Amino acid sequence: MKVVFKNRYGTEICLERIDINKVVMTGYDGNMLRYAWSDNGYKSIDPSGGPYIQTGDNLKYYFETDENMYINNLTYTGKEIIFYIDETDKTKDKNFIDKR
């Protein structure tokens, strides 16, 4: 499953589901990127022009599906942003510890 859209600067952003629990974002300007993190890893990512995405967000709205795709963790590799998704929002659970 793959979706391509333009952010507010006209940059084509691609979100592609590459696994049952993994979505990759490419196409953003990696030179202009803001992010927030904690001891448990990245919490949000904001490429220049958007989209601002954070843990707990549901990607189903980008893919226009009824299936919940909550982001429970994300990784920035320098070339791509990887969102680890699940049907439930585990970030709301105070006892949730990501073992990745």
Give tens-digit pLDDT for 71-99.
999 998 888 999 999 988 777 655 555 44
Query: Of 15-24, 32-41, 49-58, 78-87, which one has max mean pLDDT?
Result: 15-24
Question: Average pLDDT of the chain?
Answer: 86
Q: Give the predicted TM-score (pTM) of the model.
A: 0.84
Q: Coil, helix or strand for 57?
A: coil
In this prediction, residue 67 has a pLDDT band, given cuts at 50, 70 and 90, of: very high
Helix ranges (DSSP H) in the chain: 60-63
Q: Coil, helix or strand for 90?
A: helix
pLDDT value of residue 100? 41
Query: CA-CA distance, 54 to 70, in Å (whole number)?
Result: 10
Query: CA-CA distance, 55 to 71, in Å (whole number)?
Result: 5
